[in-house]
Amino acid sequence: MSLISTTDDLAAFCDRLSREPFVAVDTEFMREKTYWPKLCLIQVAGESEAACVDPLAPGLSLEPLFALMDAPQVLKVFHAARQDLEIFLHESGRLPHPLFDSQVAAMVCGYGDSVGYETLVSSLTRARIDKSMRFTDWSRRPLTPRQVEYALGDVIHLRTVYQRLQEQLTVSGRAGWLDQEMAVLTDPAQYRVEPDEAWLRIKARSRSSRFLALLKELAAWRERTAQERDLPRNRVIRDEGLLEIAASAPTTPEALAQLRSISRGLADGPMGQGILEAVLRAQALPESGLPRPPQRDDLPQGLGPVVDLLRVLLKMKCEESGVAQKLVATIGDLERIAADDAADVPAMEGWRRALFGEDALRLKHGQLALALTADGQGLRVIPLEG
């Protein structure tokens, strides 16, 4: 049974997998024309069997699968899980747990930053991924046997990828290094877009509080409209359009229609009315209610070279330990460490602090130096006295 299309078959399949230690999971979805991802196929594999679940099958309930995703005794294995988890949260209102993300685990095991699935499969299983169906339309029915076989391949390989990575984590003693990342991935707040915060994703040159109030109201209107109509944000109106409206602050359909990004039909319709109401709400705000410009993390003068040295140390430490740099610290983290010994960044906590953070502070305060090795082919750390 490789394609499940009835609730009874799904319940029986999930009941069998609930007795296994882990399941590998993947999804196929479409999102080009919608705000919410349209779930088209779910692939699930235990140690002994694998199947595709057709969420578009008439009358099929996904509750047995959601119950399996909730089962605390079964580890759920994904690769680059964020988009898949967003789908599960939207469809069921909850996130799968406990969780193992093979992309994050691969970063801990030295396979580089954000390693791709094909690369990981090739490295760990010596198998080759079939790319022929990559751009197929998963929403069309009926699915062909070839489509089902292609989709199943992802979770079948993922089983082996997980087992090999788990072995490496156990040998290296790094299994616990994933805990913080998995806690972030299974936090529902990571996937919920609050309309009132949507403006923060838009790059605006102006730092005028009144302009930002307009942009905030307009972005919130667009976010709610996109969610209600299930349309991509840019199908409602593009960022450039929001910025143009915020700059001109039109209060009538006629003034709105004069803008380059707005058609007459839109200005006279319900969406135009929504835009004008957002403008009026922003204009009615008192000075005390205006948003503050996002804080710029400008480095204090003279810290640029310190950041450069920290980057070299980070690269050196990560190469020595076989951990992806991205998992330890970002450039922004290094800038904060350069400016503040007590910087609130992951690199100054837990295993990251032991791996890099402590030496970063020593380097910053002149207690360590970096020097080329005698053959000039590498770097070494030199403790300094005083």
Catalytic residue (choose from 111, 150, 181, 335) = 150
Residues forming beta bridges with residue 38, ordered by sequence position: 30
Tell me which amino acid residue 103 is. Q
Catalytic residue (choose from 54, 84, 86, 335) = 84
Query: Catalytic: 28?
Result: yes
Select from 367, 368, 384, 386 the least CA-distant residue to 316.
Answer: 368
Distance in angstroms (rounded) separating the CA atoms of residues 194 and 365 = 41
Distance in angstroms (rounded) separating the CA atoms of residues 225 and 210 = 23
Query: Catalytic: 35?
Result: no
Distance in angstroms (rounded) separating the CA atoms of residues 363 and 376 = 21
What is the Cα gyration radius of the chain? 26
Please tell me whether the peptide bond between 253 and the residue prior to it is cis, using omega within 30 degrees of 0.
Answer: no
Q: Please, are residues 139 and 38 in contact by the beta-carbon 8 Å criterion?
A: yes
Query: Catalytic: 84?
Result: yes
Query: Catalytic: 26?
Result: yes
Catalytic residue (choose from 54, 86, 154, 223) = 154
Query: Catalytic: 150?
Result: yes
Catalytic residues: 26, 28, 84, 150, 154
